[in-house]
Amino acid sequence: MIGRTVLGRAAAAAAAGALLIAAAPAAARLSAAEKTIGRTVDGEFERSVGLLQRLVDQNSGTLNLEGVTAVGAMMRAELEPLGFTVTWKPMAQVQRAGHLIATHAGKAGAKKLLLIGHLDTVFERDSPFQTFVRKGDLAEGPGAGDDKGGLVVIVAALRAMQAAGTLAGADIEIVLTGDEEDAGSPHSLSRADLVAAGKRADIALDFEGLVTQDGKDMGSIARRSVTDWTLTASGRTGHSSLIFTPEQGDGAVNELVRILAAFRKELPEPNLTFNAGVIAGGARAAIDESGTGSVAGKSNIIPATAIALGDFRTLSNAQTERVRAKMMAIVAAHAPGTDAKIEFGEGYPAMAPTEGNKALLAALNAVNRDLGLETMAPLDPLKRGAGDISFVAGDVDGLVGLGTFSTGDHAPGETVDLASIRRQAKRAAILMSRLSAPR
C-alpha cells in the first residue's frame, strides 16, 4: 500500500518508491501483453476519435443537468461491456446532475486504483461553441480536451488492457464527477463519494489534461489549492471635507485599500498567489454571485461600504491555514473609524508534491522508457490549477495529467491534439497493468 494517510506518508515514502519502480521491468522493453496494449490503442484510434466526437457533440455544461446525465450514460455504455459495475449518483441536493461511479473487482491483493475525470464542461447550452470539428490530427470542440479527451483516454486504456488480458485482475474504481468546473455546494455533499473512494484507494490517477513545456510532456505530481474570499469594509459616511478626522475616520474605500496593500506587502511567499478580482465601493455597494457589482455615491461623500472578491492558491493545506491566519490578522488591524471582515469560501484543497507522488512519476517514466518516450520532468505546480484529485490527496498518492494534450481550454476554439490519445492511453494502460500485477 502506498502511503494512504498523511501520517503514513513519510514512513512509506522509501518503500513506495522501491515498490513502484519495481513495477517496471529491469530491461528497457515491453512484455507481450504490453505490446498488445500498444497495438490495440493504435488499432482503435479512429474508434477513440469517434467516441470523442460523440461526447463533445453532447453539450454538458455544468448547469445543463440533462446534458451531463447524457454524457454519463454514454460512459456507462463504454464501461459496462468491460466488466464494470456502473452507478449513477444523483446530486439534486446541490443543484447538480450527479456523478458516475464504476467499479471493477480485481484479484485478491491487487492495488486499488482510483481513476478520476469529469463529465461537465464550462460551455453551457447558450454558448456559441458547441460542435466537434476535426482538422487532421487536431480537433476543436467544447471540452474536447477538458475533460472529454480524458474520458476517451480512460476508455482506450481500459479496452487495451482488456485485449491484453491485464484488466481481468485489476481492482479499479472510476469516479467521473458531473460538476468539476463548478462544484456543487456544500463540498461535503458534492465530493463525499470522491473522498470515500480516495480512502479506499491505494493509488489515484487523474485524467485531466497533459501539460507540455518547450514541446516536452510534463509529469504532474502536485496541484495548488484555491480558496475564494470576500472582503467587506465599512466606515462612517459624511461630507468628504471631514475625511480622516477623528469624527469620520478613513472611510470604507481607504480601509479596503489599506488591507489589499498590506496583502501585497506581507503575504508573498513561495508557491502562493493571491488576487483581488472584483472591487466595488461607495455610499452603497454590492457584488452579486455572478461577480457583477453595483455602486452608488458621489465624489464628495465618504464611502460607507467597500467590497472585494478574490482568491488565493497554495501548495499545501498547512500553507493555506497559515495564509488565512495572516490575512485575518491584516484585516483586523482596522484604520480609524472603520471596520472590516473577511469570509472564506469552501475552496479546493491542495495536492502537495509528496514522495509517494514522485515515486508514481518514476513508475510512469519507466513506462516512458520502455515505450521509447522521453522522461517526463515534474511540472511546476504553479502551472496547474486546482482539481478534483486534491480532495483525495490527503489519503492517497497520485498523478495528474493523464488525459489528452489540448490548447485554449475554457474558451471557444479549445483544441485537442488527437495524436496525444495514443501515447496517453498507452502510458496509462501499461502503468495500470504494472501497478495491478500480483507481487
Fold that domain 227-344 belongs to in CATH: Alpha-Beta Plaits (3.30.70)
The rounded distance, in Å, linking the Cα atoms of 412 and 142 is: 7
Number of helices followed by number of strands (H, E) in the chain: 11, 18
Number of CB atoms found within 10 A of residue 269's CB: 11
Residue in 3, 34, 432, 424 with CA at minimum distance from that of residue 218: 424
Domain extents in the chain: 6-223+350-436, 227-344
Report DSSP state, residue 334.
P
Burial of 344 (0-12, 13-18, 19+ CB in 10 A): middle
> CA-to-CA distance for 165 and 35, rounded, in angstroms?
12
For residue 161, the model assigns a pLDDT of 98
- pLDDT for 14-23, tens place per residue? 344 444 444 4
Cα distance between residue 79 and residue 367, in whole Å: 25
CATH fold of the domain at 6-223+350-436: Aminopeptidase (3.40.630)
pTM of this structure: 0.88
pLDDT at 14: 39
Sheet holding 305-313, edge to edge: 273-282, 305-313, 227-235, 338-344
The confidence score (pLDDT) of residue 11 equals 39
pLDDT of residue 264: 98
Q: How far, in Å, CA of 307 to CA of 233, rounded?
A: 6
- d(C-alpha 94, C-alpha 175), whole Å: 17
Give just the sign of the alpha carbon dihedral 87, 90, 91, 96. Answer: positive
- Which pLDDT value is given to residue 427? 98
pLDDT of residue 28: 54
β strands within 326-430, DSSP E: 338-344, 397-399, 406-407, 415-417
166 HSE (CA, 13 A, CB side): 27
Q: pLDDT of 239-249, one tens digit each?
A: 999 999 999 99
Q: What is the pLDDT of residue 29?
A: 87
- Low-confidence stretches of the chain (pLDDT < 70) are 1-28, 439
- Rounded-to-integer distance, Cα 84 and Cα 341, Å: 49
